[in-house]
Amino acid sequence: MRPATRITLVVAVLLVLYVGSFLTFRAFPEEFTLAPPDHPERWLVVFSRNPEVHGMVRWFYWPLIQWAPGHRGYPTDTQLRNAIEFSNALREPRPVRPETPGRAP
DSSP letters for 14-82: HHHHHHHHHHHHHHS-EE-TTS-TTSGGGEE--S-SSHHHHHHHHHHTHHHHHHS-SS-B---HHHHHH
pLDDT of residue 103: 61
pLDDT of residue 23: 93
> What is the pLDDT, as a whole number, of residue 70?
76
Which pLDDT belongs to residue 24?
A: 93
pLDDT for the residue numbered 101 = 63
Distance CA 39, CA 68 (A): 16
Say what the pLDDT of residue 37 is: 82
pLDDT of residue 88: 81
* Phi and psi, residue 73, nearest 5°: -110, 140
Residues of the chain short of pLDDT 50, as ranges, are none
pTM of the model: 0.72
